[in-house]
């Protein structure tokens, strides 16, 4: 079963991304990544730019509404995600608790929805 770990960063953690390679916090992320790979649970991941670079689109009454910035104005913003292949939600929660992002922000654990893919909700619309 695949799970998404949605990593919410505080403004301080976004700022830490600019630190030197030897920064202890960045070392914690490297060690976490290494542990995921060695456990053979890592599927993929990526970081996101700061929330101020977001653009939110809504369609209302047939008209496109565009808002600069994130959908929600909160202290913690979505900073990245990790996809893991794990046997259970308990295993996903264990990995989330080990995530360096949990110490400064939050990590939301959410199962992927393979049944949606089977119903045709994929990125491959031209099939």
Domain boundaries, the chain: 2-118
Under 8 Å CB-to-CB from 104, ≥6 apart: which residues?
A: 9, 10, 12, 13
Cα–Cα dist 26/41, whole Å: 21
**Can you give the pTM of this predicted structure?**
0.79
CATH class (in words) of the domain with range 2-118: alpha beta
What is the residue-level pLDDT of the chain in tens, covering all 127 positions? 999 999 998 877 777 777 776 678 788 999 999 999 999 999 999 989 888 888 888 899 999 989 887 666 667 788 999 999 999 999 999 999 999 989 888 999 999 987 766 666 555 544 4
């Amino acid at each position: 079963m695949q799970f998404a770990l949605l990593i919410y960063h505080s403004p301080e953690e976004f700022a830490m991304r600019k630190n030197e390679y030897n920064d202890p916090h960045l070392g914690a992320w490297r060690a976490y990544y290494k542990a995921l790979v060695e456990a053979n649970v890592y599927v993929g991941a990526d970081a996101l730019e700061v929330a101020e670079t977001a653009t939110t689109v809504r369609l209302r009454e047939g008209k496109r509404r565009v808002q600069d910035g994130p959908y929600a104005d909160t202290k913690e913003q979505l900073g990245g995600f990790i996809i893991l292949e794990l046997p259970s939600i308990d295993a996903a929660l264990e990995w989330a608790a080990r995530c360096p992002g949990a110490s400064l922000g939050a990590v939301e654990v959410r199962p992927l929805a393979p049944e949606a893919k089977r119903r045709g909700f994929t990125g491959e619309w031209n099939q």
